[in-house]
Amino acid sequence: MALHWLRERRRERTRRHEFPAAWREIVERNVSFTRYLSPADQRELEGDVQVFLSEKHFDAAGGLKMTDEIRVTIAAQACILLLHRKTDCYPGLYSIIVYPHAYVAPQTVQVARGIITEGMQPRLGESWTRGAVVLSWDDVRSGAMDIHNGHNVVFHEFAHQLDAQDGSMDGAPILSDHSMYATWARVLGQEYERLQHDTALGRETLLDQYGATNPAEFFAVATEFFFEKPQQLREKLPQLYDELRRYYKQDPAQILM
């Protein structure tokens, strides 16, 4: 209890610091979503960014040179997911590892019962259950600048971090009210199964078909679409949109007009 109080007191002091003009310029230039936020939301976001940058460690990989532009661009997008919500600042996350471009990582896939294949897979990002997020800077930057293509690697990987806060990455993050879980499970479960079914049949789908991989990827893909193409999501999948609106306590379809 005392440690929690001290941490919150330290965070409040951090939020009261003046937001550096150079950081604000980076956010305005690189993170186009923030241009649609109200002045109050922009101030809240800047405070969250200051806390995020004071607590998380950034590591450069693959020859990348770490800069404030990289750190602030990533932090601003990650903190968009925290707006309006009384939640911790990604408590299980300690390190953000950034490559200059897409990178390759080992992958193990079970293709049939008892048959497992191993190989290398190119990746734009990944999120570990505890400890780290890995990102491609090229894809971070392009996703931040284009808020209407439905793809944002930071939203995707940090949605996984929110999902993992209860100890498992299963598409069911910690909800603010226990009564929300039944509706969440029903709505997201139905839409996940629909995406799986349509993907298996080769049908065109609203959400990226990568979301059919498992419930965790479905939540992450739905989060990307919620913030990037909210009007389409609200029109075509209104129940899913409403569940995400209640969870994130934001209504991007109203502001991204």
For 205-222, how does the pLDDT look when each residue is reduced to its tens digit (9 = 90+)? 999 999 999 999 999 999
What letter does residue 201 receive in the DSSP assignment? T
Torsion angles phi and psi, residue 123, rounded to 5: -135, 150
Q: Which has the higher per-residue pLDDT, 226 or 104?
A: 226
Average pLDDT of every residue of the chain: 91
Strand order in the sheet with 125-127: 57-60, 93-99, 131-136, 125-127
For residue 244, the one-letter residue type is: L
Any long-range contacts for 9-18 (C-beta under 8 Å, 24+ apart)? Answer: 11/51, 11/89, 14/47, 14/50, 14/51, 14/54, 15/47, 15/48, 15/50, 15/51, 17/50
**Mind listing the pLDDT tens digit for each residue in 146-188?**
888 889 999 999 999 999 999 899 999 999 899 999 999 999 9
DSSP per-residue letters across 130-193: SEEEEEEHHHHHHHHH-TTSS--HHHHHHHHHHHGGGS--SS-PPPSSTTHHHHHHHHHHHHHH
CATH class of 170-257: alpha beta
Stated pTM of the model: 0.91
Q: Is 109 helix (H, G, I), strand (E, B) or coil?
A: strand
**34-38, 59-63, 76-80, 119-123: segment of lowest average pLDDT:** 119-123
Domain positions in the chain: 170-257
